Amino acid sequence: MLALLLTLSLAVQDSGAFVARLGKDTLSLEQYQRTATQLRGEYVIRTPRSLHRIYTFDLNPDGTIRHVEIVTHNIGGGAGPMETRNTVDFADDTAVLVSPRGDSSVTTKLAVPRGTFPFQFYVFGLMEQIGRWARGTGKDSVRFNALASADRTSGGYIRRRGDTLVCMFDEGQLAGVGPFTFRLDPQGHLTWLTGKGSTLQIDVQRVASVPMAQAGPMFANRPLGQLSPRDTVRATLGGAEVWIDYSRPQKRGRVIFGDVVPWNTVWRTGANAATQLNTSADLVVAGTTVPAGKYTLWTLPSQSGWKVIINKQTGQWGTEYNPAQDLVRVDAKVETLATPVEQMAIAFEPGTLTVSWDKTKVSVPVSKK
């Protein structure tokens, strides 16, 4: 009888399901179960291709994770094996990773801070677990380390903000990723999460259940690809070779300016990494000289007018903006378009540089000096 009671006490303590969306598009469906010693779940994701993953996290008594197994099924076909299996074992200050390589596997040992968490985008059962651990410390702000690749860790923090928690990475490979704001109910269940204000502007809702058995067939041939693919626009201006490299987000049924892109806040003018501007010769942008070189391009949207900003810092993530590095800030012309532009576009038109998205088109005059 005692053995039966112990077995029941370690049986499923809670379970849940999540739907992740970006605007009108469903990105992933997930369901999980948690016991005192294990978090196990599965999800189907549509970006960049359609995959089904089963995850298992064996838990330490303090809520950290000692063993990870992730099995990935390539339900969408195309490049890559049909099934792969990755494992990680955490012990003291070491992580041992076993990853597939061809028909065999490779084992990697990595020094990591004690208590390091694995990190997988779109695994919201894992985000719930990290939140539960953070809340269990009793602190309003706690730092943690995450392993997101086979060779390095990233540092981040979780802070309490009223009845919500905010997760942000500020060190290492993931530096600049976030913030993700989410809420845990009194039972420690993640009820919602939003990436609004980050470079992954997803919205996640807890739901009673998801049709996981149908999700694979339903999404197998409907991948979303890269959510904000990188593109480069090039022009020759009076002999000056100019290019802009940027990521192109889509509208996806959302209100863009004043919501996805807030008013009166410097915007990365794209997505993901900061938008890069390179010119082989000196330019004149809205009457201001921009010497030959490489820069990043930003904008400051406002209901009363826009500014285009050229900044001297380069190579950073799109949430890392340093106003002290501004080279120039110039006023821009703003037009309202009759037909919305679904995918943001930067272009060179005769004598002007333009940014178009939704029903807004912003332009500044540009020429070789």
Domain layout of the chain by residue ranges: 12-219, 230-368
pLDDT digits (tens, 9 = 90+) for 310-319: 999 999 988 8
Mean pLDDT of 77-95: 84
Mean pLDDT of 263-281: 96
The pLDDT-based confidence of 163 (bands split at 50, 70, 90) is confident
Q: What is the pLDDT of residue 149?
A: 74
Mean pLDDT of 83-91: 93
Q: What is the residue-averaged pLDDT of the chain?
A: 92
pLDDT at position 292 over 90 = yes
The pLDDT-based confidence of 100 (bands split at 50, 70, 90) is confident
Q: What is the pLDDT of residue 150?
A: 67
Lowest pLDDT segment from 72-86, 105-119, 293-307, 354-368:
72-86
Give percent above pLDDT 70 in the chain.
Answer: 95
Mean pLDDT of 129-139: 95
Q: What is the pLDDT of residue 317?
A: 86
Distance CA 147, CA 95 (A): 9
Mean pLDDT of 38-66: 95
Mean pLDDT of 328-341: 97
pLDDT at position 97 over 60 = yes
Residue type, 365: P
Residue-level length of the chain: 369
At 52, phi and psi to the nearest 5?
Answer: -120, 130
pLDDT at position 220 over 50 = yes
Q: What is the pLDDT of residue 8?
A: 39
